[in-house]
Amino acid sequence: MACTRRTKTLVSTCVILSGMTNIVCLLYVGWVTNYIANVYVKVPMPVPDKKLDGDKKGETLRIIERLDRLENVVNQHIQEIPLRGEGVQAEAEQSFSDSSLFSHWGRDLGPESRRVALKMFQAHGYNSYLSDRISLDRPIPDLRPDGCKNISYPPHLPQVSIVFIFVNEALSVILRSIHSAIHTTPTHLLKEIILVDDNSSNEELKLRLDEHVSELNSRRPGLLKLVRHQRQEGLIRSRVSGWRAASAPVVALFDAHVEFNTGWAEPILSRIQEDRTRIVSPSFDNIKYDTFEVEEYPLSAQGFDWELWCRYLNPPKAWWSLSNNTAPIRTPALIGCFVVDRQYFEEIGLLDEGMEVYGGENVELGIRVWQCGGSVEVLPCARIAHIERAHKPYTEDLTGHVRRNALRVAEVWMDEFKTHVYMAWNIPQEDSGIDIGDISERRALRKRLQCKTFRWYLVNIYPEMRMYTDMAAYGVLKNSLKPEVCLDQGPDQDNVPILYLCHGMTPQVMYYTQTQQAVRQACSAPTIDSRRQQVPGGRQRQATPPGVQLRHRQTHEALLALLPGRLYPEPTVQALSGAGGERHQ
Ligand SMILES: *[C@@H]1O[C@H](CO)[C@@H](O)[C@H](O)[C@H]1NC(C)=O
Ligand SMILES: *[C@@H]1O[C@H](CO)[C@@H](O)[C@H](O)[C@H]1NC(C)=O
Ligand SMILES: *[C@@H]1O[C@H](CO)[C@@H](O)[C@H](O)[C@H]1NC(C)=O
Ligand SMILES: [Mn+2]
């Protein structure tokens, strides 16, 4: 699933909407806010205290979970609205044009086709209507840096098994991934392609997929293998299932919505042949979810923030100083698709199969491989285009799983730095009430492999990661004059913090440090290098600097001042009540 964007928060969810849908959304938010108004964790002024209001934290957590679920309900509601508009033609038309699917595509489509396309888009998170109508063998532009074509590779390279995992993916998208793998991988290097179906319910993935598999196998016997899960195991155990079915010396673990670029395999196989403890990621380009155009992404390393969501990073200084844009890029972690020596992957502990559904496994693998003596890199000459979905199938509440998985990583690998993960998720350090499952096996693995400390990893492999060593408090920042509004990072489009109804999720989590005496938004600038950071498909944010004042956009009245050492809420209550609404029109 690679580097996904952050799940939309209530704030940004409402902000991107217009008209009636915005009001529906705000009503939900308002309801939620009333519900939590009296119990929410407060961090009023910096007190050298850990997590405040300890006795209420269990309740807080339940509320956060409820909020997460409600967020999904809101999203779902929003997505379903266009389909309900059938009786009211004009309104339905209006909703169609609201969908991001139609902002760059489909203007000439008739109403019935639009309805079908929208429904397919909602199911898959990309334009599967269009995918069904473009060639499975389309060429994509060669986006390799100059110089890649001139590199020659050893004549004898190890063979690779390519694993594609999926659940309810569009059939044409899976088939295009397969066709592209067959066309771009030299025949003698491609041992097999393994499809792992994580218990899809989609009808087209049953008989019709079987037919395609037999048809491809009749042309190249034994090339395709199909593994079907009898119950849903999630992305992490699906990758491991694929690895178990693989027989080539090298295994490539990918999503099933990718297209390979020319010559992707040779650079990777040759790096692994040189050193089997290297785990290698290709460089990613984007297939736009609406038009299916391939968009070039800048060369990046792959890192993460303290919530352990993945992030693209600027390559390290040492790489720039080589002035060789075909050279491997050292990377602290992986975004999820990677290639590995089959046996080494087992020796190093596969993936953490105690993780559920989605998220964190890519970060855990990166940290583990580095701490336990291997290395991880991204190769500029191996490029793969990947569909960055507009949304995941919305029935899944991913955030809860990502958080649980992140805590497993923190507890096993991060030593004293595990506190940073708890802070980033705004949950108490002790008795968080979250069941992270059994981690004894992973701890035993760390001991057996005699791995280095997380401090070593941060200093040597991920120096860009920001450390917070003098934390005074963390939590949401309320205005004492109007306690139902909190400081919030605001809409995605700009860097202007706003006041917004308190919901306590990531955009509202603040850190207060003792020495710097500054308030920081927790998720705003996770790495020191963020000025130069390239974030393809993501967004960049700066920390709120001390001394900043928030002012109402229209009246310019001061709403809240963040000054070194103190917080100054100012008595402008009327402006405050306007502040939330003003942004959402
Ligand atoms: C690649 O090789 C060609 C011919 O062998 C040569 O003309 C060209 O300068 C080389 N390019 C680079 C970037 O090395
Ligand atoms: C999915 O799981 C159910 C049981 O949970 C099983 O009966 C069904 O056969 C599975 N479907 C597929 C396609 O494997
Ligand atoms: C640049 O990096 C590539 C790939 O590692 C290597 O083959 C090539 O020799 C390097 N070029 C120079 C000029 O160092
Ligand atoms: Mn993906």
Contact partners, residue 90, CB within 8 Å, separation at least 6: none
Q: Candidates 230, 238, 241: which one to mutate for ligand 2, based on the most atoms within 8 Å of Cβ?
A: 230
Residue 283 has pLDDT above 60, yes or no: yes
Instruction: Name which residue sits closest to atom 12 of ligand 2, judged by CA.
Output: 199
Atom number of ligand 1 nearest to Cα 146: 13
pLDDT mean over 31-59: 35
User: Ligand 1 mean position to 150 CA, how many Å?
Assistant: 6
Tell me which residues have their CB closer than 6 angstroms to ligand 3.
151, 324, 326-327
Secondary structure letter of residue 360 according to DSSP: S
Write out the two tokens for 135.
């060639």
- 362 Cα–ligand 2 center, Å: 27
> Which of 146, 278, 321, 324 for a ligand 3 pocket mutation test, highest count of atoms within 8 Å of Cβ?
324
Tell me the C-alpha distance between 205 and 199, whole Å.
10
Nearest bound ligand to the CA of residue 206: 2
152 lines ligand 1 (CB under 6 A): no
Whether the Cβ atoms of residue 366 and residue 332 lie closer than 8 Å to each other: yes
b (16+ CB within 10 A) / e for 17-29? beeebbebbbebb
Alpha carbon of 279 to ligand 3 centroid (Å): 19
Residue type, 432: S
- State how far the Cα of 333 lies from the Cα of 302, in Å rounded to an integer: 5
**H or E segment at 191?**
strand 190-197
pLDDT digits (tens, 9 = 90+) for 106-136: 989 999 999 999 999 999 999 999 999 999 9
Q: Which atom of ligand 2 is nearest to the CA of 201?
A: 13
What pairs with residue 287 in β-bridges? 294, 387
Q: Is the pLDDT of residue 152 over 60?
A: yes
CATH 3.90.550.10 range(s) for the chain read 148-387
User: Which atom of ligand 3 is the closest one to the Cα of 267?
Assistant: 4
**Residue 466 pLDDT greater than 90, yes or no:** no
- Beta-bridge partners for 284: 384
Counting ligands in written order, which one lies closest to the CA of residue 4? 4
Q: How far is the CA of 581 from the centre of ligand 4 (A)?
A: 35
Tokens 């990502």 locate to 402
The pLDDT of residue 97 is: 59
Other Cβ atoms within 10 Å of 323 Cβ, number: 7
Q: Which fold has domain 148-387?
A: Spore Coat Polysaccharide Biosynthesis Protein SpsA; Chain A (3.90.550)
| Closest residue to atom 11 of ligand 2, CA basis | 199
**Ligand 1 pocket, 146 CB below 6 A?**
yes
150 Cβ below 6 A of ligand 1: yes
Q: Which residue puts its alpha carbon closest to atom 2 of ligand 1?
A: 150
What six digits make up the tokens of 89? 């033609």
- Tell me the two tokens of residue 516: 């710097």
Strands in 362-467 per DSSP E: 375-387
Q: Which backbone phi and psi does 68 adopt, to 5 degrees?
A: -60, -45
DSSP β-ladder status, 566-569 and 558-563: antiparallel
Cα separation of 226 and 314, whole Å? 38
pTM for the model: 0.76
Atom of ligand 1 nearest to the CA of 149: 1
**What number of H helices and E strands is found in the chain?**
18, 21
Q: How confident is the model over 68-83, as pLDDT tens digits?
A: 555 544 444 444 444 4
Reported as a single tens digit per residue, the pLDDT across 203-248 is 999 999 999 999 999 999 999 999 999 999 989 999 999 999 999 9
How far the first Cα of the chain sits from its last, in Å, is 33
CA proximity to 378, closest of 310, 452, 459? 310
Ligand 1 atom 5: residue of nearest CA? 150
449 confidence band (pLDDT: 50, 70, 90): very high
Does 147 sit in the ligand 1 pocket, CB within 6 Å?
A: yes
Q: Which of 88-92, 360-364, 488-492 has the lowest mean pLDDT?
A: 88-92
Determine the pLDDT at residue 52. 31
Q: Above 70 in pLDDT, residue 96?
A: no
pLDDT in tens, 160-216: 999 999 999 999 999 999 999 999 999 999 999 999 999 999 999 999 999 999 999
Say whether pLDDT at 24 is over 90.
Answer: no
Residues lining ligand 2, Cβ inside 6 A:
199, 228, 230-231
Nearest alpha carbon, ligand 1 atom 3: 150
Task: Supply the residue whose CA is at minimum distance from atom 12 of ligand 3.
Answer: 324
Q: What is the pLDDT of residues 530-571, one digit of tens each?
A: 333 333 333 333 444 444 444 444 444 444 444 333 333 332
Per-residue pLDDT of 355-398, as tens digits, reads 988 889 999 999 999 999 999 999 999 999 999 998 875 456 77
Report the pLDDT value the prediction gives residue 515, as an integer from 0 to 100: 57
Phi-psi region of 35 (alpha: psi -120 to 50; beta: other; left: phi over 0): alpha
